Structure 1
């Protein structure tokens, strides 16, 4: 049985700019515990033309919690860092 995991990959896009690639992967509990879901997300990003440096994180990682705050900060909705 697999679970759908929401993933974000911070990568360089085709224009050479930093970008976020959003995807979901299906992984078994074993694949998840071994971190294979990160490899799946990185491979998908690469297939879509994204390049290194790349780092992937999932919906349960601390980086995911910071995304909403980062968006508000970048949009000028908050000055709290």
Structure 2
């Protein structure tokens, strides 16, 4: 997942799957590849990529629950 600015200038999430070797994954190349794909699709900086193992994934789930009113915990 890449958090980026879309063509309309709004914050957005770009979702993509990339295939990497274990070595590439260990060096964070999957982030670079995801950002490159987002750029190819017209997204622009600022950009940050994260995967299912990063803290941002849990925060995103919590943020969704919060915005949907399923929790009042911040």
TM-score band, normalised by the shorter chain? over 0.9
> What is the CA RMSD across the aligned residues, in angstroms?
0.7
SS at match of 2:19: strand
1:49 maps onto 2:62 in alignment: no
Number of corresponding residues: 74
Q: 1-side partners of 2:62 and 2:17: how far apart?
A: 22
Structure 1 or 2: more strand by fraction: 1
TM-score (norm 2): 0.95
Q: 1-side partners of 2:68 and 2:24: how far apart?
A: 36
Bigger drift between 35-44 and 65-74 goes to 65-74
SS at match of 1:68: helix
1:67 offset after TM fit, Å?
Answer: 1.4
Q: 1-side partners of 2:29 and 2:50: how far apart?
A: 12
TM-score (norm 1): 0.87
1:27 maps onto 2:20 in alignment: yes
Q: 2-side partners of 1:9 and 1:30: how far apart?
A: 21
Could you say which residue in structure 2 is the equivalent of 1:63?
56
1:34 offset after TM fit, Å?
Answer: 0.7
